[in-house]
């Protein structure tokens, strides 16, 4: 009896459900590099290199552990280019009695998995991905009957469920959420640690050559390539974060500084999402740092909330809402994505910095994603589909189950407020308070309208005006509608004229790049 166990590129975990009960003597583990996955969006070069190098190293490790691994490389001349095509070829090679796989993190791929039994005539078992702390059933039980799916309620339930940061049935330290102690602006003299940089070895170097040659036209800079690609690398990156950055994580969580891409963030999402780090172990390790007195509770609670709360919550929403979630557009935003999202060439210094760092690292930290590129797309009314494709392409940690709810729900309010309690819209004053970008910008953050004014200022009010009907009743943003209504007709006309001029320039940009595929 031969079982073919098909592992996907973000399932690089020895304890993966598809491997449970496997027999090293008789079973075959199939891992395939395929063109479709490298191009279903035009991923950042670093992301492709990261995934392929990690897949190769994981396969080597499985072989060293005595497994029979069938690994297909991207440049194999017979490579069929798709998961289904490669499965069909593997069935011809191994004649398995059945196929076992772990549910993919994307509706697109789950649809393929569900088609495999009919397409091949071989029985297929799709197992739940139990690397997450909240199963589909648990999330649905929690969500059932609630009229508002609040992350904070979910998070408390998950604290109780896992026992993380709990003293009996009470939260450690007496409060569930210490966010009020966080959100401090950054000082520009702030010392910030660096995430672990790993020198590419010969095998990673071979992947870099392949990616450099084959995906030269894709977004982003391939080198220097510094991400780790093995479980040992990921664990070393975790150690570095725990030792050097976790204590400052809370205070600097919402801060942004020019030239400081990482601040006190962990840069662990690429490793966790691909399966090289276990989210529960990461949370337990952070809790240990607090219990040992090496990190303060506001930092540790804030960090654990991101993984135990937000990460599990957005996944729950993605699966509960189904495949049509990514098509939502509650605010009916239709403007094309400006070309500067791909080139970084804009005079808005904050966006220029964030997008340039994204090009270099395939990384930006949360507040840059939410309050710079996300906020701009929201207030400028950019088509959520195009924004979604951008986020899915450019970050090394991007998989649809986590990217789509963050982009369409948290950032763009395209799901009509299912996920976010208010649109995360902000003017220049917020960016100025939380960063040092404005000092080096050609625009004046204090000016509200006119060609010298910070575009975030008038675009914010233009957004409020355009979406009055949606926002007026919102408990957290309704005040902005009242403020807009209290402005004089002249002030309102200035806002509208500045926004119209800005949108006119964006339209010209769109025309100039209409035939360009990024």
Residues that bind ligand FAD (CB under 6 A): 265-269, 272-273, 303, 306-307, 310-311, 314, 365-366, 369-370, 374, 391, 395, 397-398, 402-403, 406-407, 410-411
Closer of 101 and 266 to ligand FAD (Cβ): 266
Query: How far lies 374's CA from each of 239, 301, 473, in Å?
Result: 31, 25, 23
DSSP conformational letter for 406: I
Closer of 73 and 335 to ligand DLZ (Cβ): 73
When CB distances are held under 5 to 8 angstroms depending on the partner's kind, the choice from ligand DLZ, ligand SF4, ligand FAD, none that residue 462 binds is none
**Considering the complex, what minimum distance in angstroms separates the CB of residue 420 from ligand FAD?**
10
DSSP-derived secondary structure for 75-116: T-TT--SSHHHHHHHHHHHH--SEEEEEPPSSHHHHHHHHHH
**Considering the complex, what minimum distance in angstroms separates the CB of residue 433 from ligand SF4?**
10
Q: Which of 454, 459, 499, 506 binds ligand SF4 (CB under 6 A)?
A: 454
The answer to whether residue 33 forms part of the interface with ligand DLZ (CB under 6 A) is yes
Beta strands in 381-514 (DSSP E): none
**Considering the complex, what minimum distance in angstroms separates the CB of residue 30 from ligand DLZ?**
10
The answer to whether residue 52 forms part of the interface with ligand SF4 (CB under 6 A) is no
Q: Which of 7, 377, 426, 445 binds ligand SF4 (CB under 6 A)?
A: 445
The answer to whether residue 388 forms part of the interface with ligand DLZ (CB under 6 A) is no
The answer to whether residue 348 forms part of the interface with ligand SF4 (CB under 6 A) is yes
The H or E element spanning position 167 is strand 166-167
**Count, residues near ligand SF4 per rule CB under 6 A:** 14
CA distance 272 to 362: 15
The radius of gyration of the chain from alpha carbons, rounded to an integer in Å, stands at 24
When CB distances are held under 5 to 8 angstroms depending on the partner's kind, the choice from ligand DLZ, ligand FAD, ligand SF4, none that residue 238 binds is none
Nearest to 312 by CA among 155, 490, 140: 155
Q: Which two tokens stand for residue 82?
A: 């798709």
Q: Phi and psi for 28 in degrees, rounded to 5?
A: -120, 135
- Residue nearest ligand DLZ, Cβ-based: 9
Please check whether residue 133 is in contact with residue 280, taking contact to mean a CB–CB distance below 8 angstroms.
yes
User: Which residue(s) pair with 224 in the sheet?
Assistant: none
Closer of 9 and 384 to ligand DLZ (Cβ): 9
Q: Which of 13, 30, 37, 410 binds ligand DLZ (CB under 6 A)?
A: 37
Q: Which of 106, 254, 289, 415 binds ligand DLZ (CB under 6 A)?
A: 106
Question: Which positions from 8 through 27 interact with ligand DLZ, judged by CB under 6 A?
Answer: 8-10
CA distance 98 to 1: 9
Q: Please, what sign has the CA dihedral across residues 366, 368, 372, 377?
A: negative
Please check whether residue 454 is in contact with residue 350, taking contact to mean a CB–CB distance below 8 angstroms.
no
Q: Which of 17, 393, 432, 467 binds ligand SF4 (CB under 6 A)?
A: 432
End-to-end CA distance of the chain: 47
Residues of this chain that interact with ligand DLZ (CB under 6 A) are 8-10, 32-34, 37-38, 43, 48, 51, 104-106, 109, 399
């Amino acid at each position: 009896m031969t079982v073919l166990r098909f592992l996907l590129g973000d399932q690089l975990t020895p304890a993966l459900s598809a491997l449970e009960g496997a027999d090293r003597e008789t079973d075959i583990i199939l891992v395939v590099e395929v063109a479709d996955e490298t191009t279903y969006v035009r991923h950042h070069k670093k992301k492709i290199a990261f995934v392929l190098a990690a897949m190769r190293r994981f396969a080597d490790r499985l072989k060293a552990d005595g497994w029979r691994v069938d690994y297909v490389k991207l440049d194999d001349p017979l490579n069929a280019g798709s998961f289904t095509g490669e499965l069909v070829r593997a069935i011809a090679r191994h004649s398995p009695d059945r196929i076992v796989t772990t549910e993919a993190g994307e509706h697109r791929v789950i649809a393929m998995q569900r088609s495999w039994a009919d397409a091949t005539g071989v029985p297929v078992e799709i197992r739940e991905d139990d690397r997450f702390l909240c199963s589909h059933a648990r999330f649905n039980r929690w969500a059932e009957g609630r009229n508002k799916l609040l992350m904070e309620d979910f998070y408390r339930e998950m604290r109780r469920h896992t026992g993380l940061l709990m003293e009996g049935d009470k939260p450690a330290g007496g409060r569930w959420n210490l966010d009020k102690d966080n959100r401090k602006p950054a000082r520009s003299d702030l010392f910030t640690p660096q995430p672990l940089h790993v020198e590419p070895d010969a095998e990673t170097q071979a992947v870099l050559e392949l990616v450099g040659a084959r995906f030269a036209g894709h977004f982003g800079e391939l080198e220097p390539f510094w991400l780790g690609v093995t479980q040992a690398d990921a664990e070393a990156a975790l150690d570095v974060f725990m030792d050097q950055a976790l204590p400052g994580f809370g205070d600097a969580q919402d801060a942004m500084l020019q030239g400081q891409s990482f601040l006190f963030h962990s840069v662990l999402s690429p490793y966790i999402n691909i399966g090289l780090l276990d989210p529960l172990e990461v949370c337990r390790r952070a809790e240990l740092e607090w219990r040992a007195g090496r990190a303060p509770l506001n930092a540790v609670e804030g960090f654990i909330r991101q993984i135990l709360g937000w990460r599990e919550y957005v996944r729950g929403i993605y699966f509960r809402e189904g495949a049509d979630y990514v098509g939502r557009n509650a605010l009916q935003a239709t403007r094309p994505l400006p070309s500067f999202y791909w080139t970084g060439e804009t005079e808005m210094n904050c966006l220029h910095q964030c997008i340039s760092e994204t090009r270099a690292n395939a990384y930006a930290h949360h507040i840059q994603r939410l309050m710079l590129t996300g906020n701009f797309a929201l207030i400028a009314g950019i088509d959520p589909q195009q924004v979604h494709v951008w986020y899915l392409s450019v970050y090394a940690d991007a998989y649809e189950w986590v990217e789509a709810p963050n982009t369409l729900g948290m950032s763009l309010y395209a799901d009509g407020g299912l996920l976010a309690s208010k649109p995360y819209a902000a003017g220049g004053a917020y960016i100025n308070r939380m960063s040092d970008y404005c000092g080096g910008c050609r625009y004046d953050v204090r000016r509200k309208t006119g060609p010298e004014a910070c575009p975030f200022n008038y675009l914010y009010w233009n957004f409020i005006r355009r979406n009055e009907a949606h926002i007026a009743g919102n408990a957290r943003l309704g005040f902005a509608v009242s403020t807009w209504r209290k402005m004089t007709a002249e002030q309102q006309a200035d806002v509208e004229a500045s926004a119209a001029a800005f949108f006119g320039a964006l339209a010209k940009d769109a025309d100039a790049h209409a035939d360009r595929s990024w």
